[in-house]
Copies of this chain bind each other. A is one copy, B any other.
């Protein structure tokens, strides 16, 4: 039997009693180590389970799945996943490989962020599509998550934003990185391009284009003020707005998979 076992979200004792029993009787126990990030180390798990764990990084699960499944038709093999086993596509792939190899499988579920997020008091029934927010680079600033959040809000739905977290994995020279809530909020502020206008038509009129964050700390002087929040932008519009923006600001708007910005 091939067991996919969820470890839950917290520490070693978040495993279910059933899961723990299975782990203790399996021939081999793999620990998935890439789609989620453990809050406790492999050593702590090994000590609590009383078992050696074999680390399975993304390369291994994708390329050496047969090795993981080896012998699972005649003995028990466990594959441990932080949270619930079905958060990531790769595990569906493992299940399909097992079935194709005539190996039976069983899932032992556990809490994952997708349901545990209910602890904040928002009703899970009212969540729309989940979005992922990844780290922006100078040249790659995906913002499709913004449109999904907007769509959810239009329907009165909450949006769970999964923040980029890369564990050690495919590339050993890439250190783990975890996006903070502050960084995510920063990117959200960045994505909303506003134009502030003050005293339009007067000699001392002022126009200022920039992110919502920039706008929040702007001072355009005396009344009257107006504010625009941009929708889809034509390249010419972007060029115009740059006249009124910080050189560092809107120049970074070379979005690649953008729908808000087109350039």
Contacts and interface: CB of A to CB of B under 8 A. Distances in A.
B129 A127 contact: yes
A32 interface: no
Given A17-B15, A17-B16, A107-B119, A86 B124 contact: yes
A209 B224 CA distance: 61
A125 interface: yes
Number of copies: 2
Given A125-B132, A129-B127, A86 B15 contact: no
Contact of A109 (B8, B15, B121, B125): B8
Given A8-B109, A118-B87, A130-B125, A17 B14 contact: yes
B114 A111 contact: no
Using C-beta atoms within 8 Å of the partner chain, give the interface range for chain A. Answer: 35 or more
A143 interface: no
A25 interface: no
Nearest to A109: B111
Interface in A74-133: 83-87, 89, 92, 95, 107-112, 114-116, 118-119, 121, 123-130, 132
A261 to B, nearest CB: 22
A177 interface: no
A37 interface: no
Interface in A1-22: 6, 8-18, 20-21
Interface of A: 6, 8-18, 20-21, 83-87, 89, 92, 95, 107-112, 114-116, 118-119, 121, 123-130, 132, 151, 155, 157, 162
